[in-house]
Amino acid sequence: MGQRLETFYDVIRRRGVSRRSFLKFCSLTAASLGLGPTMAARMAEAMETKPRIPVIWLHGLECTCCTESFIRSAHPLVADVLLSMISLDYDDTIMAAAGHQAEAILDETLKEHYGNYILAVEGNPPLAEDGVFCIPGGEPFVNKLKRMSAGASAVIAWGSCASWGCVQAAKPNPTQATPIHKVITDKPVIKVPGCPPIAEVMTGVVTYMLTFGTLPELDRQGRPKMFYSQRIHDKCYRRPHFDAGQFVEEWDDEGARKGYCLYKMGCKGPTTYNACSSVQWNEGVSWPVKSGHGCLGCSEEDFWDKGSFYSRLETIEGFGVEGTADEIGIAAAGAVGAGIAAHAAASAVKRIVQKPTTHDRRPQDGSGTGDHA
């Protein structure tokens, strides 16, 4: 890696575009945007001086499905992102360097670009036993994460592992896998949850940060609003069947063939914030509901600990046996109803056996011979 950061202009030249064509492009773009004549020069200058931002991509406790998703991005094409837009200096899964040569890049980045690089984290650090359950490059991942986050301008949490903890943090979480925002507390962490996140969402977040030089607007949980502000349910193409009251009742019934709503089959679309129903997967080929299966809610916190994928209610522990809210509610209401019936019976008995007292109205039964004063 060179001392000086490559600019966009450098990349454009490297890819065989002449300076004449580059200036023409700037003029044409300025003209087509309706900007003044001086803007073409300013655009050219920006392209010549704006450096490609270095990105360090770390892998902790994870399955690499985020990377698998990322490299399938079509809009923008992942090759454009990697080769033109960002300077992906370190990503142990897809980088050419290996061993000490690769690890040396981390130290170099800390030294050269301190405060200027984006740290993208796939997976999370297990904290139990001083982090021995995840040791990439001979170093506990938690240490590596803290070391590299110190000099990062922003941190991206790729996927549900980095954002929420995901499967390795499922109860009882033996390795104490911990989402990265609980380890990195002094920097903004952009959560891009999903197992994996949608490829275009990942590249979209990166593109936004490069284009505008700022973080995308985040919601209360730290997710980019542009991709995570609506539920699967809100943009689901089967939503009209939900509103009409037409549901798949069994996996092989008429409703399933007609593409009715999967709500009764435990679809988590109504409680899952993600862009699957609008962006879809694999260049818009399909997505879970489109292929006939309900949403699992993989981008939601602790989705694996919330009971069946095929239930509309999570199981609640702590009642001896696990049950859903409705099962527990019906049992409790039944017990209280039985208690009320028994109490009413006992009250009736009390009323029959207890002798009338002075305050009791019963002697005044209309005969006019009561013992009231």
Binding stretches for other proteins (CB under 8 A): 219-221, 225, 229-231, 234, 240-247, 249, 255, 260, 263-264, 268, 270-271, 297, 300-303, 306, 312-314, 316, 324-326, 328-330, 332-333, 336-337, 340, 343-344, 346-347, 350-351, 354, 357-361, 364, 366, 368, 370, 372-373
- Which lies closer to other proteins via its Cβ, residue 3 or residue 358? 358
For residue 123, give the nearest of 114, 113, 133, 112 by alpha carbon. 133
Q: How far is the CB of 244 from other proteins (least distance, A)?
A: 4
Residue 15 sits at φ, ψ, to 5 deg, of -90, 15
- Which lies closer to other proteins via its Cβ, residue 293 or residue 312? 312
Instruction: Determine how β-strand 323-324 pairs with β-strand 315-316.
Output: antiparallel
> CA dist 91 to 20, 64, 122, 176, 184, Å?
35, 11, 10, 24, 20
Distance CA 50, CA 48 (A): 6
Q: How far is the CB of 127 from other proteins (least distance, A)?
A: 20
Q: Dihedral sign for Cα 146, 151, 157, 158, please.
A: negative
Q: How far is the CB of 332 from other proteins (least distance, A)?
A: 6
Q: How far is the CB of 183 from other proteins (least distance, A)?
A: 18
- Which lies closer to other proteins via its Cβ, residue 117 or residue 247? 247
Q: Which residues are annotated as a binding site for [3Fe-4S] cluster?
A: 276, 295, 298
- Which lies closer to other proteins via its Cβ, residue 111 or residue 359? 359
Distance CA 295, CA 287 (A): 9
Q: How far is the CB of 307 from other proteins (least distance, A)?
A: 9
User: Mapping DSSP to helix (H, G, I), strand (E, B) and coil, where does residue 118 land?
Assistant: strand
Q: Are 57 and 90 contacting, i.e. CB atoms less than 8 angstroms apart?
A: yes
- Which lies closer to other proteins via its Cβ, residue 291 or residue 357? 357
Question: What stretches of the chain adopt beta strand conformation (E)?
Answer: 53-59, 86-91, 117-122, 152-158, 189-192, 315-316, 323-324
